[in-house]
Structure 1
Amino acid sequence: MTLRAVPVGIGHYLPSRVVENAEFEKTIDTTDAWIRTRSGIERRHFAAEGETTSQMAIAAAKAALAQAGLTAGDIDAVVVATSTPDLTFPSVATMVQAGLGMEGGFAFDVQAVCAGFVYALANANALVISGQARRALVIGAETFSRIMDWTDRSTCVLFGDGAGALILEARDEAGTAADRGVLATDLHSDGRFRDLLYVDGGVSATGSTGVLRMEGREVFRHAVEKLAETAHAALDKAGLTAEDVDWIVPHQANLRIITRTAQKMGVGMDRVVVTVQDHGNTSAASIPLAMSVGVARGQIKTGDLLVAEAIGGGLAWGAVVLRW
């Protein structure tokens, strides 16, 4: 028998404010058609004034717990992926822990920008299979609307806010590629490319929050190449191929990146969960949001093989293969 980290609950939260592309036409030189053509995005959600990353993470966590039929006391570890924490410290994860009423267990944040949820999922999987936690709550949550340069039409139209949460539980499986749970992970980073996607502020550098800066064309080139490679590498580790995949659940950054990556993997778009049109790029929240929506739509079902892949600032990228 092999211990696997098996998904048992999923949930998400989106702020109530929906921002259609047309809203940007009032303040910057852009159009709905330009945004759709460039990114596939039609709308996104923005957090309300005073609404924080931790509040959204708690709401998503509660939804995941409800779906799983569990309580906060059943969770041993909370891992939150975010680049937009409420405060420099303490971690968002400890705020979630308190917000859920957890008095035991442990909690920490992971920061790998848009690849954050993949990194958090890999870490949570390691905690479960090593026996450190029986159940782990893995969350991606972001308020990227707080770090936008609203005069930069190439970036401010792309991002949105939200949170998604996944619960993993330790279960004994047969030790084959047919097992449920996380079957393989593949993580990478290369700090030489830091200037392609970054925020120009921080505690030790400027003492300010800063705003997002991106070299879009270069990020696109790296994304298509690296996402397909890491997805294939994770599948190889699991002893599987792209033909075995039921659903790709990609980071929802740009529809063109999603489409090109699927093509390079040899997977049709009918096997890709796409939510970017409604959420925009929610960074670390995008994969768990897409998973949750995919389950709600009836796309993702028990036993389906999923590949989640993402790339973000760092550059950091990776993939996880799991059977639902």
Structure 2
Amino acid sequence: MELTTVWFCLIAVLWIGYFVLEGFDFGVGMLLPMLARDDRERRVMINTIGPVWDGNEVWLLTAIGATFAAFPEWYATLISGFYVPVFLILIALIVRGVAFEYRHQRPSVTWAGWWDRAVIFGSYVPAFLWGVAFANIVRGVPIDADFEFTGTVLTLLNPYGLLGGLVTLSLFVTHGALFIALKTDGEIRGRARALALRLGVVAAVLGVVFMFWTQALTGNLGTAVLFVVAAPALVGGLGAAYVGREGVAFTGTFLAIGLVVAGIFVGLFPDVMPSSTDLANSLTTTNAAASPYTLKLMTIVAAVFAPIVVGYQAWTYWIFRKRISIHHIPAAH
């Protein structure tokens, strides 16, 4: 297998890891105003992701860094063409990260309320815009012979792109509700499970429409197979939530999100960014790749450090695996 193909697959794995892990903590942030009845319950929800949210973002940083190093032409066209949504995502992630760290610095209810709004904003924006961005990559965007994006922000706000945003948002919020049900106890656990069922129905409907539309665009058999498996994974997860098996339910949404993202990358290959202007202008794993020496060096580095990072993150999840509830949260002074 050529190293360009290897790195395309590795970048796909990084994005899959990012969406299935960061997806649930986006969901937790979006659900703050829906599930929590008071400040102690909001603190419970935030504490479920407190030890892991920043580790989840490592997958994004690694995916973007790997794209820059392995496929610099793809990185340049993507970041310049999608500058506005990427900038908004970056601002949202910064605001969200600051909110987690600053929320508890003062006992004021007003202070905490504003940082809660920052968490909500910082969760909704990337949850929606990542779907818009990836849907447009699959659909194709206007790229000229110099591999430069020639469209505008409005080019990205097409029906398929907006549907992609709604799909990721609905899947992430369902994923987050099931994570809360898995990680908490008491009343909030029951409310999260019930809400996950209602949200999951919406996510399933939007997901089916998106999968059929994507299959019509790509016509890829591998994509079709992955999508066919993703649908029962989501439905099975909702069924497990209905009977109170939160672990199985969370696994179902975990697999569904991962399979959908995998299907998108399978449908793209060997392109990394199709051109809607002229297929000859499309960026591929060949014309967007770095030099063979760079790819060889990156492969050695990845082989050494990737298992360490994955192992450390798995250890973190194991250490913080227990449920929490409001009796773990001291009353405010």
Structure 2 length-normalised TM: 0.30
Relative to total residues, which structure has the larger strand share, 1 or 2? 1
Structure 1 length-normalised TM: 0.31
The structure with the larger Rg is 2
